[in-house]
Amino acid sequence: MRRFAWAVKDAWRLVAIVGVVLGGAALILVFIKDAMQPWRRFSAEPMTVVPTLTGKPERCLTCHFGIEEISPAHPTRAFGCVVCHGGNALALSKPRAHKGLLGKRNPATLEVQEKTCGKEGCHVRSDNPSRSPSASVPLTLMATKASEIAKAAFALGWQKDELARFGVSPAREALGLIPEIREKRMLAASSLAPFRPEDNPQKTRFVKNCLSFCHLHTGHDLKNTDARHLSGCAACHVPFRPSGRYLGKDKAIKKNEAGHAPYHKMTTAISYTACNACHNQGVHSLRLEFFYRADIPRPAITDPNADRWKAYYIPQAQFARCEVELECIDCHTRTEVMGDGHLTGNKDALQRVRCKTCHGTKTSLPALRTLASGADEAFWVVRSYRRGFPALKLGDRIGITDANEPLPHLREKNGQVILHSKAHEKRWRVPLATHSRCAQEEKKQRSQDCYPCHDASRHRRQEGRFAR
């Protein structure tokens, strides 16, 4: 009997011990599993944001802890991440969170931007095509290369005129334009078919050497460099550096590889370096080759602090001194770079700024407009300019382009014209041709008409033929 009693006692003891061991193991397992949560590498706790625009909780920041706010116009507390990137808001593992991510690293590629930047009410407004960059940018030459294709096709006998019929991507005139105006102004058919090489070896060469890069569809593989060349809206709006390294504070983004913008930032204060990632890279030859500039090191994607005079203009090109000293966007307007909603087939279609826009002519001052109402377009345009941009007020006199677009950064006061840079804090007094010793002819106002006397390019300066 005693033996039996002992045996029962032992059995209970055993059960208790096994229980404790199992329980402990389970606890340890739970702990290990928790510690192995992929997000633990980045944050101590899941981090939830409820963006005020959507009201739906998101946990992306759990892993992307420390990421920069993309821009003051898109604060994280209002926008969160998913409006722009898609993805699975609550998931806490990378594959699940990233399911349905739009555009991978760049949600602003032309392929996806309609679903991200171009949501109705964001950068598309069906009631106002000129305020709809998402709709207008894909119709510009920077996206289609329609003019380059048409010119080459004409020169090489593939077509009989210079009417633009093809693009690197298909595009369609959305707003409808009466044919005479279209022919005159756009020199484009009402839609562009994608340019296909078919079986023609010359066309294949053209596509490979001349159409595969330097437009808004190219993505981030800029030939011969490991730096990142962004595509779509980000090509202009996201600043980048030659190294292609991410320098920001997001813990998840790799720091030791190329192919990243330096920070998770967008801006409208666009440096000339963004424009020069495509412009001024080199020249095409009629033998359908592209020659990168030999006079500057590759990658030619540059630092905003680089010396523009030394490095960033194609040696053969002509330009006035201000074309190198000012930022591209100090002269070129939003419509010139982002389009007006119509399909363009020729550079002239969107040309709005002229030399006389700032300098006036021999006999007349630059065209100006007095701001008479708060509803003036200028107040809308200026809202997206850099922080600290001098405020506009009723009664101010500002410049306007040939197409009556306001230039809130060009202001006249007491006969002096001042230009405030859109990209940084500089300002200049604009020298006027009006009543000056300038020897121009009143009727000849294209830049080519000014360069014979005002070409400031290197060879002119070397020849000592540049007056200033």
Q: Which sign, positive or negative, has the C-alpha torsion 17, 21, 24, 30? A: negative
- What is the C-alpha separation between 93 and 98, in angstroms, rounded? 8
Omega within 30 of 0 (cis) for the link into 299? yes
Q: Which is nearer to ligand HEC, 67 or 398 (CB)?
A: 67
Q: State how far Cα 292 lies from the chain centre.
A: 22
Q: Which is nearer to ligand HEC, 59 or 203 (CB)?
A: 59
For residue 214, the minimal CB distance to ligand HEC (Å) is: 5
Q: Which is nearer to ligand HEC, 203 or 410 (CB)?
A: 410
3-state helix, strand, coil in the chain (%, to 5): 30, 10, 55
- What is the C-alpha separation between 109 and 231, in angstroms, rounded? 5
For residue 403, the minimal CB distance to ligand HEC (Å) is: 12
For residue 27, the minimal CB distance to ligand HEC (Å) is: 24
For residue 195, the minimal CB distance to ligand HEC (Å) is: 13
- What is the C-alpha separation between 136 and 174, in angstroms, rounded? 9
Q: Which is nearer to ligand HEC, 9 or 310 (CB)?
A: 310
- Asked if 265 and 70 count as a contact pair (C-beta separation under 8 A), the reply is yes
Q: Which is nearer to ligand HEC, 134 or 203 (CB)?
A: 134
For residue 97, the minimal CB distance to ligand HEC (Å) is: 3
For residue 229, the minimal CB distance to ligand HEC (Å) is: 7
**201-207 contacts: CB < 8 A, separation 24 or more?**
202/156, 202/288, 203/158, 205/288, 206/152, 206/288
For residue 26, the minimal CB distance to ligand HEC (Å) is: 25
Q: Where are the beta strands (DSSP E) in 232-342?
A: 282-284, 290-292
Q: Which is nearer to ligand HEC, 122 or 202 (CB)?
A: 122
Distances (CA, A) of 126 to 41, 114, 334: 44, 13, 18
Q: Which is nearer to ligand HEC, 79 or 195 (CB)?
A: 79
